[in-house]
């Protein structure tokens, strides 16, 4: 019987069995304060009983979790570097005690084992992994702007070699049992039911001799020059991937490189110091903020209805175009055996091709077997009529963006569907309120706005209207979560959430170009702010004609603050539609790669160029986004600033290290933001920069967005 509350402890035939996730009803076990204290006491007990013990076997009582990592709320509560460093040292001390035990220690990893969980496992002499799908290991700290602080950067290279360790630590990616064994992290892989039993076979067994490849890796690692090259390459790759915006991977590299020849204690002291510095940095706090926002999203925010929540098992998609093919892929991936309907077989073939290309990445990365791929592709039923629509629980319409056509298609489709099925539209700009009028059961209808390409873009806007039932919204919300995407509930309105805030960014870009700012300066300024691409490149990707259409809808709906410069319309007249015609602001080769600025687009711009500072360009495009977001909150299009921030990070790739648009605004100070908007209102344009009343109110009350 265990004397501990959170960890079970039992000795049988000279083997100590230590079980995590004991006595609690949560699905995940985290290394919170109590668990760490108990683990520390257990390490002491194991040491004091060492003469009577041959081994300690660590296992889990949970269905799908070994140790999910350190409790992030402990990290978020840290206020000073010293707090952070002390916290890391405390954890390191416990894991050192485990590492120093004079007998065999075996971590039987089954389920999620991340961060501190993996660092704990590394302090054991042997790691076994279960072959269960839920079993993963990794050090994702870098994603929170942190360095693994419990000895992970010290022990991982010793276990799997420097190049593999750098790959895992710098990317934060996870490995399953198969990969874990291949890279030497796990000694062996067993079925979850037998892993503890099998662990006994590893007692008294010496670790297998390193093979030739491992010996060469060790040699490379021990060699000063080759180590230098490995770190140099890793640094170059980090800078290329992160454009230098993220400090954690660089700090990790510095710490690891400087510590390669150090003793354990002095290495760990510098790891703890680095952890302390990073955990209170603004960047890490911003990334932690995103973590908490994403955690919150996992629960439907309400309001809840009284009725039953429809379960969405069978899917259908109307339209097999760019979006329809992607949606069919998503449904097939989630076992919904979708029906895909279009007007003719040629269109359906294109849709199937789109769906198949979405699976290729997973096939290549071996996340999907060829058999599964073929099974999933076969599960997509292509058709030109409504056969089988009575079985459908969720329909997503993705046909041409035309209100009259969509309305008539909805009233026809509804006749072939059950009364309790949900019908949704993937419209990117049309009024969902208006569309709902075409349906008898409008309470079962909503907008479900995916972004292009469906398999890459994580955000889905769920657009509500005055008649929608809360049960419909909740069912869609849960379904989006199930597909591993991020839902945000948005009230109907021009451009919904993301496109509406993106609009001033793209509009201002047009005006800046017309004022004489060069495309290069404009795009570079935005990239240097952290945006994934500049507005000219982005417009080329979206399609300049699509941009013009959406801009008109927003201008009609929002008035003159959303008026656009005439530049895009002139480009459409000249047939410069962006990447799809290989010509837009930039020229593109056949593979779609930009090959340089397009002279025809340049010819539409003023001949004399204006020099504007990078920060002024950035403020010209970012401030109106903040202003529009304030109006959106005022109109209750979304409920919270976090909805805006998640929407923009997951919808357009707003730089995560800034924590989101409104968190960025808060950190800059709303008073400063407002006065800069007022300045542009008099120096640039009164309508486009008219300060939002809501923003003025926040400043008058000395509040931030996140005080709401």
Ligand X SMILES: NC(=O)c1ccc[n+]([C@@H]2O[C@H](COP(=O)([O-])OP(=O)(O)OC[C@H]3O[C@@H](n4cnc5c(N)ncnc54)[C@H](O)[C@@H]3O)[C@@H](O)[C@H]2O)c1
Does position 177 bind ligand X by CB under 6 A?
A: no
- Report the side by side order of strands in the sheet with 65-67: 65-67, 112-114, 136-138, 174-175
Does position 135 bind ligand X by CB under 6 A?
A: no
Burial (0-12, 13-18, 19+ Cβ within 10 Å), 13? exposed
Within 53-112, the residues that bind ligand X by CB under 6 A are none
CA distance 561 to 623: 13
CB 625 within 8 A of CB 504: yes
For residue 658, give both structure tokens: 């800034």
Q: Of residues 316, 409, 605, 648, which one binds ligand X by CB under 6 A?
A: 409
CB 315 within 8 A of CB 336: yes
Q: Of residues 87, 324, 534, 584, which one binds ligand X by CB under 6 A?
A: 324
Q: Are strands 174-175 and 15-20 parallel, antiparallel or unpaired?
A: unpaired
Closest distance to ligand X from the beta carbon of 482 (Å): 20
Size of the chain in residues = 708
Nearer to ligand X, 341 or 658 (CB): 341
Does position 338 bind ligand X by CB under 6 A?
A: no
Nearer to ligand X, 323 or 646 (CB): 323
Q: Of residues 321, 388, 470, 516, which one binds ligand X by CB under 6 A?
A: 321
For residue 164, give both structure tokens: 């593999």
Q: Of residues 212, 225, 400, 603, which one binds ligand X by CB under 6 A?
A: 400
Transcribe 122-176 into DSSP letters: HHSSEEEEE--TT-EEE-GGGGGT----SSHHHHHHHHH-HHHHHHHHHH--EE-
Q: Of residues 347, 526, 576, 661, which one binds ligand X by CB under 6 A?
A: 347
CA distance 472 to 631: 27
Sequence-separated contacts (24+) of 614-617 with Cβ below 8 Å:
614/521, 614/524, 614/525, 614/528, 617/512, 617/517, 617/521, 617/522, 617/525, 617/526
Q: Tell me the number of residues near ligand X by CB under 6 A.
A: 22
Closest distance to ligand X from the beta carbon of 426 (Å): 4
Does position 443 bind ligand X by CB under 6 A?
A: no
Closest distance to ligand X from the beta carbon of 312 (Å): 20
Closest distance to ligand X from the beta carbon of 547 (Å): 11
- Only segment of 113-121, 309-317, 318-326, 686-694 that touches ligand X (CB under 6 A): 318-326
Does position 651 bind ligand X by CB under 6 A?
A: no
Closest distance to ligand X from the beta carbon of 507 (Å): 19
Does position 383 bind ligand X by CB under 6 A?
A: no
Lookup result for tokens 């399609």:
543
Q: What is the separation of C-alpha 405 from the centre of its chain, rounded to a whole number of angstroms?
A: 35
Q: Of residues 318, 438, 459, 571, which one binds ligand X by CB under 6 A?
A: 318
CA distance 361 to 320: 20
Which helix (H) or strand (E) covers residue 323, if one does? helix 322-333
Q: Of residues 426, 518, 582, 587, which one binds ligand X by CB under 6 A?
A: 426
CA distance 280 to 75: 9
Q: Of residues 319, 487, 594, 647, which one binds ligand X by CB under 6 A?
A: 319
Nearer to ligand X, 214 or 401 (CB): 401
Nearer to ligand X, 342 or 545 (CB): 342
- What is the contact mask toward ligand X in residues 446 to 485, using x (rule: CB under 6 A)? ----xxx---------------------------------
Does position 126 bind ligand X by CB under 6 A?
A: no
**What residues are labeled active site?**
461
Nearer to ligand X, 105 or 499 (CB): 499
Q: Of residues 153, 164, 284, 428, which one binds ligand X by CB under 6 A?
A: 428
Which residues, including other chains, have CB under 8 Å from residue 601's CB and lie 6 or more apart? 519, 571, 576, 583, 584, 585, 586
**3-class state of residue 383 by DSSP:** strand
Backbone angles phi, psi at 319, to 5 degrees: 100, 130
- Only segment of 63-71, 88-96, 133-141, 396-404 that touches ligand X (CB under 6 A): 396-404
Closest-CB residue for ligand X? Answer: 321
Nearer to ligand X, 124 or 317 (CB): 317
Nearer to ligand X, 347 or 571 (CB): 347
Where on the chain is the footprint of ligand X (CB under 6 A)? 318-324, 341-343, 347, 398-401, 409, 426-428, 450-452
């Amino acid at each position: 019987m265990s004397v501990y509350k959170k960890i079970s402890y039992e000795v049988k035939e000279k083997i100590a069995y230590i079980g995590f996730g004991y006595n609690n009803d949560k699905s995940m076990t985290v290394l919170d304060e109590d668990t760490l204290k108990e683990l520390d006491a257990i390490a002491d007990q194991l040491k004091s009983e060492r003469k009577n013990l041959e081994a300690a076997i660590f296992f889990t009582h949970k269905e799908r979790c070994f140790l999910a990592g350190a409790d992030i709320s402990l990290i978020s509560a840290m206020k000073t570097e010293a707090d952070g460093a002390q916290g890391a040292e405390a954890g390191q001390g416990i894991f050192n005690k485990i590492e120093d035990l004079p007998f065999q220690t075996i971590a039987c990893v089954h389920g999620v084992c991340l961060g501190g969980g993996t660092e704990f496992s590394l302090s054991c002499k042997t790691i076994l992994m279960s072959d269960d799908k839920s079993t993963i290991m990794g050090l994702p700290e870098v994603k929170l702007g942190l360095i693994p602080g419990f000895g992970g950067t010290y022990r991982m290279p010793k276990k799997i070699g420097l190049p593999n360790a750098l790959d895992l630590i710098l990317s934060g990616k996870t490995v399953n049992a198969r990969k874990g064994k291949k890279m030497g992290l796990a000694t062996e892989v067993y079925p979850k039911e037998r892993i503890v039993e099998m662990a006994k076979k590893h007692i008294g067994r010496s670790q297998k001799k390193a093979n030739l490849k491992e010996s060469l890796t060790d040699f490379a690692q021990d060699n000063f020059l080759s180590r230098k090259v490995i770190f140099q390459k890793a640094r170059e790759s980090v800078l290329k991937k992160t454009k230098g915006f993220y400090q954690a991977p660089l700090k990790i590299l510095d710490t690891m490189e400087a510590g390669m020849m150090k003793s354990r204690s002095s290495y760990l002291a510098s790891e703890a110091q680095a952890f302390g510095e990073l955990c209170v940095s603004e960047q890490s706090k911003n990334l932690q903020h995103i973590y908490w926002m994403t955690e919150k999203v996992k629960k439907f925010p309400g309001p809840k209805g009284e009725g039953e929540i429809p379960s969405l098992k069978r899917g259908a998609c109307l339209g097999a175009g760019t979006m329809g093919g992607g949606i069919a892929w998503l449904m097939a991936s989630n076992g919904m055996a979708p029906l895909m309907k279009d007007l003719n077989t040629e269109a359906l073939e294109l849709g199937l091709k789109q769906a198949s290309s979405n699976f290729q990445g997973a096939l290549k990365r071996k996340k999907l077997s060829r058999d599964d791929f073929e099974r999933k592709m076969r599960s997509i039923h292509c058709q030109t009529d409504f056969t089988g629509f009575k079985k459908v629980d969720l329909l997503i319409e993705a046909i041409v963006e035309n209100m009259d056509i969509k309305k008539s298609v909805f009233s026809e489709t509804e006749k072939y569907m059950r009364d309790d099925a949900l019908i949704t539209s993937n419209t990117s700009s049309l009024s969902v309120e208006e569309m709902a009028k075409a349906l008898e059961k409008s309470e079962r209808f909503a907008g479900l706005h995916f972004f292009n390409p469906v398999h890459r873009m994580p955000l889905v806007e769920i657009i509500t209207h005055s008649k929608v039932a809360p049960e419909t919204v909740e069912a869609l919300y849960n379904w989006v979560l199930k597909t591993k995407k991020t839902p945000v509930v948005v009230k109907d309105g021009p451009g919904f959430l993301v496109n509406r805030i993106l609009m001033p960014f793209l509009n201002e870009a047009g005006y800046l170009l017309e004022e004489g700012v060069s495309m290069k300066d404009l795009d570079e300024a935005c990239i240097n702010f952290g945006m994934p691409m500049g507005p000219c490149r982005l417009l080329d990707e979206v399609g300049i004609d699509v941009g013009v259409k959406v801009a008109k809808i927003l201008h009609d709906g929002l008035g003159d603050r959303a008026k656009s410069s005439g530049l895009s319309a002139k480009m459409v007249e000249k047939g410069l539609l962006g990447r799809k015609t290989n010509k837009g602001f930039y020229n593109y080769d056949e593979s779609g790669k930009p090959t340089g600025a397009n002279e025809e687009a340049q010819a539409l711009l003023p001949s004399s160029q204006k020099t504007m500072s990078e920060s002024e360009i950035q403020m010209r495009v970012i401030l109106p986004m903040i202003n529009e977001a304030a109006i959106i909150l005022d109109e209750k299009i979304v409920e919270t600033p976090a909805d805006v921030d998640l929407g923009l990070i997951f919808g357009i790739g707003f730089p995560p290290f800034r924590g989101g648009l409104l968190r960025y605004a808060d950190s800059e100070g709303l008073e400063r933001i407002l006065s800069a908007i007022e300045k542009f209102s008099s120096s640039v344009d009164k309508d486009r920069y008219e300060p939002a009343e809501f923003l003025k109110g926040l400043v008058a009350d000395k509040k931030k967005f996140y005080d709401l």
